[in-house]
Amino acid sequence: MNFKIETVEKINVIKGQYATAQGCILPALYVLEEHEGQVTPEREKALAHLLDVPTYQVAEALSFYTMYNRHGRGKHHFQLCRNISCYLRGSDEVIALFQKRLGILPGEVSADGKYELELAECLGNCDHAPAGILGKEDINDLNCDKLNALLDKLGAPHGV
């Protein structure tokens, strides 16, 4: 698989900024997503080749970090954190509310293609737990009222 010249050039710049090839994986994935689109298995392997790292190291990064687009996206991509800080502050209720309103499970996109839910393992916003990300924007200090208001603003159904 060949990447666009622009993609290769940007990844090569990143390679020059990090001491190890492994350190380049996350920023290179952002470049890949921005210029090539979805991070398909073929692109995952090609990136490993370009960075000269084992494919499993790219796969590990992709399996841990949920912000990369691996399977196409709903128009409104929600990542909701379920890890300990967020859980202790009620993330399970927020996640359950999201699922009830949209009728989808984690990893799914609503039938109309508008909403996608992914569960995350710490988004680095533990001091604003429960935390989430909508698209590229942080959504902090979530609770059911705040999520309902956000979903109302987006025009989400009240249960399907």
Contact positions vs ligand FES (CB under 6 A): 81, 83-86, 122-126, 129, 131
Of 18, 67, 64, 11, the C-alpha closest to 36 is: 11
The sign one gets for the Cα dihedral 51, 52, 55, 61 is negative
Considering the complex, state which of residue 47 and residue 61 has its C-beta at the smaller distance from ligand FES.
61
Beta bridge partners of residue 76, listed in sequence order: 115
Considering the complex, state which of residue 54 and residue 124 has its C-beta at the smaller distance from ligand FES.
124
Least CB distance to ligand FES at residue 139 (A):
11
- How many whole angstroms separate alpha carbon 149 and alpha carbon 73? 22
Q: Are 135 and 120 in contact (CB under 8 A)?
A: no
Least CB distance to ligand FES at residue 66 (A):
12
Least CB distance to ligand FES at residue 89 (A):
9
Considering the complex, state which of residue 53 and residue 61 has its C-beta at the smaller distance from ligand FES.
61
